[in-house]
Amino acid sequence: MSFENPAISLSARVAELNKRFQNTDTVEMLREITSDPAFGKLALISSFGADSVVLLDMVAKIDRALPIVFIDTEMLFHQTLSYQRKLAKDLGLQDVRRILPSREAVLKRDSENLLHRYDTDACCTLRKTEPLARALTEFDGWISGRKRYQGGARMSMDLFELDAEQRIKINPLAHWSREDLASYIAAQNLPKHPLVAKGYKSIGCAPCTTPSGTIGNERAGRWRGQTKTECGIHFGNNAPARPVIPRAVIVTDEGFETEDWAAGFHSFASLATLPEQEKAALAIDLKGDFVAKDLLPWIGQIDLIRVSFPVFSDGRGFSLACQLRLLGFVGRLRAKGHIVADQYAMARRSGFNEVEIDQALARRQPEPVWQARADWQIRDYQNLLRQSA
Ligand code: SF4
């Protein structure tokens, strides 16, 4: 099996993996997937919670340098933070990445740290799902410690899944029971989270976690009294806190915005026959190979031109934008399609005002990733050199 073969769809590959590893020992499976280049760059996502030590121990025995992503919501129990440091040291984990929520976003949306009291979904989005989405942008797949016996949507999960961004997600412990975990921890003599002894079987943020009780669902202590059962990290499992992203996202220097152009887009070919009333607010779609001078008769009448980028490597749209500006087009110019954050500065320098991306890319490359490129003018070295000459 190879991930390189474009003829095989991702979901077919996932089905193939589920079949291939259905009877494989967990450690053996982890060894294979972490050493097979076809899986790309993987990370283990760990909460350093009640039974996280099992996967962490397995990974440490296979590859201590495997990146471990630890989302610190800044609302965790102090015991979790000290347990995280102890485990990293004891197991010799070399690449634990402590991911914090965006400082700017916290100041804007939860400056008093009270959001969890009245909107847990918004709080999880701010403190868990957005930081994780940022952290995952550099990975091709991720490993999670969820188990089927934990109930809810987890009961039907497979060993391999696709997340909402079409990234492979591996659940090596999906079929493990509570007893299996306890036996492993005892057999390997692993340290337990200090709160386990106090009745916590599932451990998340301090304000939203209570002891689980002795019977029933071990996640019952999470968000007690609410219908919420997941923080939203596990997209695709009916997670309620998944960030709501509009179908089309317009990226500007100020960040993500929603579409504000309600009048519709026309083709260049339809301009000649357009009724007068539709010319009051005029937007057109152009392909990157359009001949700019053909637009000269219309150039003063068009408010918005959207140039499509059909594939990532097709740079003709940048040239077209430059030519349209040189011909005197002063309206809005928008790049749409296969544009990634690294190309934002190039788009702006070419004369585009904004970039239109779809939901999948907005999730893979969230707003902070694009905003890191919003200072494109101070990196416009050629222009700066011209000015200083
Ligand atoms: S679990 Fe509670 S405190 Fe933690 S991010 Fe979610 S709502 Fe906020």
What does the DSSP assignment read for 373-386? TTTGGGG-HHHHHH
As a whole-number percent, the residues of the chain with pLDDT over 70 amount to 84
Report CA Rg, the chain. Answer: 25
pLDDT beyond 60 at 244: no
- Top-ranked range on mean pLDDT: pick from 87-91, 111-115, 272-276: 87-91
> Which residue lies with its CA nearest to atom 5 of ligand 1?
124
Q: Which of 188, 140, 132, 137 is nearest to 34 (CA)?
A: 140
Ligand 1: centre distance to CA 101 (Å): 12
Please report the sign of the dihedral spanned by the C-alpha atoms of residue 243, residue 244, residue 250, residue 253.
negative
Higher pLDDT, 38 or 94: 94
pLDDT beyond 70 at 233: no
Q: How far apart are CA 134 and CA 130, in angstroms?
A: 6
Three-state DSSP at 224 gives coil
pLDDT beyond 60 at 203: yes
> Which residue lies with its CA nearest to atom 1 of ligand 1?
205
Q: Is 208 a catalytic residue?
A: no
**Pocket-testing residue among 205, 223, 224, 227, ligand 1, by greatest number of atoms within 8 A of Cβ:** 205
What is the token pair recorded at 359?
A: 């939901």
Report whether 320 contacts 291 (CB < 8 A): no
Query: Fold identical between 10-221 and 248-388?
Result: no
**Tens digit of each residue's pLDDT (9 = 90 or more) over 327-385:** 999 999 999 988 888 899 899 999 999 999 987 787 777 888 888 877 777 666 566 56
Report whether 218 contacts 201 (CB < 8 A): yes
- Top-ranked range on mean pLDDT: pick from 48-62, 115-129, 137-151, 367-381: 48-62
Three-state DSSP at 17 gives helix
pLDDT beyond 50 at 188: yes
Q: How far apart are CA 214 and CA 165, in angstroms?
A: 37
CA distances from 110 to 32, 73, 75, 115, 285 (A): 42, 12, 12, 6, 40
Out of 123, 124, 205, 231, the active site residue is 231
CATH match of 10-221 with 3.40.50.620: yes
Report whether 125 contacts 241 (CB < 8 A): yes
Domains of the chain by residue range = 10-221, 248-388
pLDDT at res. 237: 38
- Cβ–ligand 1 contact at 14 (below 6 Å): no
Alpha helices in 37-93 (DSSP H): 53-62, 78-91
Atom of ligand 1 nearest to the CA of 241: 6
pLDDT beyond 90 at 119: no
Which residues are 355's β-sheet partners? 251, 335
Fold of 248-388: TIM Barrel (3.20.20)
pLDDT beyond 70 at 99: yes
Looking at the chain, the number of H-run helices and the number of E-run strands are 14, 13
As a whole-number percent, the residues of the chain with pLDDT over 90 amount to 56
pLDDT at res. 1: 41
**For the chain, what is the mean pLDDT?**
85
